[in-house]
Amino acid sequence: MLPQELIRAKRDGRKLPAEDIAHFVAGIASGTVSDAQVAAFAMATFFNGMSRDEAVALTLAMRDSGQRLDWSDLPGPVTDKHSTGGVGDNVSLMLAPIVAACGAYVPMISGRGLGHTGGTLDKMDSIPGYVSQPDTALFRRTVTETGCAIIGQTADLAPADRRFYGIRDVTATVESVPLITASILSKKLAAGLGSLVLDVKLGNGAFMAKSRDAAALASSLVEVANGAGLATTALITDMHQPLASAAGNAVEVLNAVDFLTGRRRDARLLEVTLALAAEMLQSAGLANAQREALGMARQSLESGAAAERFGRMVALLGGPGDFLDHPHRYLVRAEVEKPVLAPENGFVTGIDTRQIGIAVVALGGGRVHHDHGVDHAVGITRLLPIGTSVRRGDPLAMVEARNEAKADAAVAMVSQAYVLGDSRPTVKGPVLRRIA
């Protein structure tokens, strides 16, 4: 089927045969399908959706567009986690070494930022020398020797998704359940996993702002993954406020280092990280119950074993050998720091989390075009969580910017994102639901 005919069929709401989807995906990988055709297909799918069988076919076609890894020679289970994207979501940086220190192997293939959400790969790229897209030999060596490696897609892994991912980011087609499903799972299937845990974000900082939409995405991911032969469960977690107290690239890496070394741990970030670690350990068969799994995860964190794994991973992938001891020496910092001041006394009762993410993008910490770079130095730090008591003039957050003009613009955006009230609000825990 010609690309334009497949687009027409999806535009008109017809179900696509698996072989036609595979042919179109092969064209995405080879370049015979144009950017305009990819964008048109994405928009048609956004409006008309896909059946479960179509989503499985799209996922498998993108998986098969490149190399598939095999970890059968490793002495332990191979598992991974993926987040659907949030603001201040640096969980992967701590989670991979925590789970690795418990005996699993975590070959974590991550993406760059999409829309207002940050990308794990952009964060890792802020570490000087770190090779975020290594060849297969270095990837294998790192996973084998440290138990984990956080990298991006290489040219050989799901290349069709790599191109599709970038085009979706700039064509307002990110929030499509089947496209998100296929994008996430094609990489995970190509990575040769034995099990997968998904962190599906819900809230005003997530791509899924409504509970039913988050549940639909989680169910789609679990059903399609299991339909494609990958044992998968999902946790739905809250993104009505930034997860960490930092949003950006280098600032989130520093937050992760503080977390791993015990210098500082944001409470909600800790709860989500441990919950996902426990889910991964159970899915991998290393723990029989949640309580046992949580205990294992806490022990690997408190003993320093997880931090040690992270440090070794960074060094093996080209980063500084003493990065954990001296992160400030290596992470780039922005020149201008300005506070966002509380305009009155009260409590933080709400945060427009998407606005925080947009402020980071406006500072240069995210992309306006899919082939643009990011400024790793900029971001927002010391973000106060919902429920915090403040007095007029207290800092709600700190903006890290390259110049005064960008700092002032970001301060205004972050100030508008914070809602203050007279009464302390009730704040629910960040782990909302499990889907299996």
CATH of the domain at 14: 1.20.970.10
On the question of pLDDT at 114 being above 90, the answer is no
Could you tell me if residue 69 is inside a domain? no
The pLDDT value given to residue 290: 95
Instruction: Specify whether 187 is catalytic.
Output: yes
Is 81 one of the catalytic residues? Answer: yes
What does the mean pLDDT of the chain come to?
94
Using the 3D structure, point to which of 302, 327, 352 is the last residue of a domain.
327
Whether residues 40 and 117 share a domain: the answer is no
Query: What pLDDT was estimated at residue 134?
Result: 92
Q: Do residues 102 and 231 both lie within one domain?
A: yes
Whole domain around residue 114: which residue ranges? 79-327
Instruction: Assign residue 251 the CATH number of its domain.
Output: 3.40.1030.10
* Chain segment 256-299, per-residue pLDDT in tens: 999 999 999 999 999 999 999 999 999 999 999 999 999 999 99
How far, in Å, CA of 60 to CA of 19, rounded? 11
* 56 pLDDT tier (thresholds 50, 70, 90): very high
Does the active-site annotation cover 83? yes
Query: 168 an active-site residue?
Result: yes
346 and 319 part of one domain = no
Query: Is the model's pLDDT at 165 over the cut of 90?
Result: no
Round to whole Å and give the CA distance between 132 and 121. Answer: 7
The tokens for 356 are 């925080």
Identify the band that residue 184 occupies on the pLDDT scale cut at 50, 70 and 90.
Answer: confident
The answer to whether residues 15 and 47 belong to one domain is yes
Q: Show which of 327, 361, 396 is a domain's final residue.
A: 327
- Residue 373's pLDDT is what? 79
The stretch 155-171 carries a mean pLDDT of 86
80 is catalytic: yes
Q: Confirm whether 137 is domain-assigned.
A: yes
Q: How many CB atoms lie within 10 A of CB 263?
A: 11
Q: How many domains does the chain have?
A: 3
177, 217 contact by CB (below 8 A): yes
Q: What pLDDT, in 10s, does the model give residues 353-410? A: 999 999 999 999 987 665 667 899 999 999 999 999 999 999 999 999 999 999 999 9
Catalytically annotated residue among 10, 63, 123, 188: 188
Q: Is residue 15 flagged as an active site residue?
A: no
Which pTM was predicted? 0.89
Catalytic-residue membership of 392:
no
Query: For residue 420, how many other CB atoms are within 10 A of its CB?
Result: 17
Say if residue 92 is in the same domain as residue 51. no
Question: Of 63, 90, 109, which one is at a domain's C-terminal end?
Answer: 63
CATH number of domain containing 377? 3.90.1170.30
**Is 431 within a domain?**
no
**Residues 131 and 262 occupy one common structural domain:** yes
Q: Do 243 and 302 lie in a common domain?
A: yes
Choosing from 80, 125, 161, 199, the catalytic residue is: 80
Between residues 109 and 287, which one has the greater pLDDT?
A: 287
